[in-house]
Structure 1
């Protein structure tokens, strides 16, 4: 039967930054990626950064690739896990002030660095906050646990491996600020989720942060923990005068992503061409 296959490529980190990935992942995707691409009639990249890496590493498939950004509005107005929107809206954030970091617990997310920044905020600037780390364990989990265990402020650090949608929304709503120091992303949802909830953010300028958000005082192009701490403390004392406005992300909706995907599917099924050029 006649069919068309669309393959989505989230990122090529296993090729661009292999030191961040476990051997099994590098081996599997390294062996399979060309097969995935060869079989595809069209390829969706979730960012221009990923599309550019595709063109550089696999130029043969560049003409089949188009960029479709994912949405960033999936947590806004979502009902709770039990389907009870009232229960979700009644949830209250933790009673203590906290700094939030939401990431998979893996190497490239640089979470021990976040712990170090938090320690400096406590030691040098005496911020009253706790640090809340939320994420699923991955290949950097042991190093994160060591960093927390060895911290003088370990009693002020809360690690959560699993939260419901309702809880995640609650943590975003109640956070005084959000920190992300990930060095590489295919798209990178969590900083954009935080911005959608109006949370002040401090982000490392990785490839997709630069692509989507551009320049901003809260976007830092270095990983110097004392400088991060100084900038965060200054912004906190000034009541965060320069927040990234939610409007920057309003075009990135799941409705827009669905519309572009349907257009791509329509193109493939109504023409004899086996590729789609953006």
Structure 2
């Protein structure tokens, strides 16, 4: 089996799709049936060995690394919001892909970031979520318009479609008419770095951030409206001042889209000493931030999978997430649930956990057991089976 993988998602900061892409590439290296993997970064083709050899401390291949501060991120967001930005970028990338793909007709092309490019061989796409359909208000209008045009074409072109959960698989079948036998849900994995850690083992890292093991609640994710952070802050402010001082809320994540109001609220609570904002936490430190938390809260409105929930479960931390979501699907009762968007219900769930150590221990143990069912090795093996099916359908 020869694989051609789209790797544009490996550009910093590395978020969910980037982690998915990187872990598949790593696992394929250990599978004997995968004889070759080439990568396309939107401009050039690279052997997978070059990509993986260049991974730096931020989990980003150095060939793609773009040094710079917040102004670069702001520039990228501004450009993305411009009319035709997605279309122009896609057109350029398609030309570059077409120039290099003729010699790779015998490769299975997997696009882990939704939209396929034209490929003469078998093609597989991963559609992580349909948030641009379900919640277009959480995306730039240009992105919504572009995905609305391109996704139906990709679904027609793909020999096989992968989703991260049955929730999204069902949405694709019902909303886009994808044949049931042409789309498969494959759960993501928890990296081996995420595991329960003792007070002593977390102390050095937590001290850098002014944190104490077992004495804070945390959220990890992109700072943007879809993640439900406004509901989290509403719930947080419903708790008593004593609770908020005793169990400060730690928020970690790269800035996302339309987050000015969120950042203003976070800053106001930070000034009171009730919230700590860590921004984007490094690859090395993140497992310790998870493992040191008393509770992990993930109030996201909508997710295709919700990888931070699985990582927190694997870290031995009790998790609160939304009922009826993809997170509740894979957790199978190992998380404390609340009604999505209900700040009162979330406040109650937080209060119950911080006041009940036995409940925290019980949920944390259930989470560890459940998280062991998911691994990137399993994800890669199931993905390889999809490639085989795609070849048969080409």
Q: TM-score range by the shorter chain?
A: 0.7 to 0.9
TM-score by length of 2: 0.61
Matched, 1:254 2:254: no
Q: Describe the shift of the 1:262–1:158 C-alpha distance in structure 2 as closer, same or farther (beyond 3 A).
A: same
- SS of 2:187's partner is coil
CA contact (8 A) 1:45 1:66 kept: yes
Q: Describe the shift of the 1:143–1:44 C-alpha distance in structure 2 as closer, same or farther (beyond 3 A).
A: same
Give, in angstroms, the shift of residue 67 of structure 1: 1.4
The answer for the alignment partner of 1:192 in structure 2 is 310
Q: Render the CA deviation track for 1:159-189: whole Å, top value 9, x for unaligned.
A: 1222111111110111111111101101111
The answer for the alignment partner of 2:249 in structure 1 is 131
The answer for the alignment partner of 1:201 in structure 2 is 319
The answer for the alignment partner of 1:33 in structure 2 is 151
Give, in angstroms, the shift of residue 49 of structure 1: 0.9
> What does 1:95-244 correspond to in 2, within 5 Å?
95-96=211-212, 97-123=215-241, 125=243, 127-151=245-269, 154-215=272-333, 218-241=336-359, 242-244=362-364
- SS of 1:155's partner is coil
Q: Render the CA deviation track for 1:77-107: whole Å, top value 9, x for unaligned.
A: 7xxxxxxxxxx98843244322100011111
Matched residues in 2 for 1:249 and 1:25: separation? 33
Give, in angstroms, the shift of residue 61 of structure 1: 4.4
CA contact (8 A) 2:294 2:317 kept: yes
Q: Render the CA deviation track for 1:32-58: whole Å, top value 9, x for unaligned.
A: 111221221111111111111110111
Matched residues in 1 for 2:261 and 2:146: separation? 24
Q: Render the CA deviation track for 1:1-39: whole Å, top value 9, x for unaligned.
A: 452111111111111221222212211111111122122
Matched residues in 1 for 2:314 and 2:190: separation? 7
Q: Describe the shift of the 1:185–1:159 C-alpha distance in structure 2 as closer, same or farther (beyond 3 A).
A: same
Q: Render the CA deviation track for 1:213-272: whole Å, top value 9, x for unaligned.
A: 244671112543344323322322221424151111222111111111122223333x3x
Aligned residues: 262
- Structure of higher RCO (CA pairs closer than 8 Å, 6+ residues apart): 1
Matched residues in 2 for 1:204 and 1:229: separation? 13
Q: In angstroms, what is the RMSD of aligned CA positions? A: 2.4
Matched residues in 1 for 2:135 and 2:172: separation? 14
| Structure 1: gaps of 5 or more residues | 78-87
CA contact (8 A) 1:148 1:154 kept: no
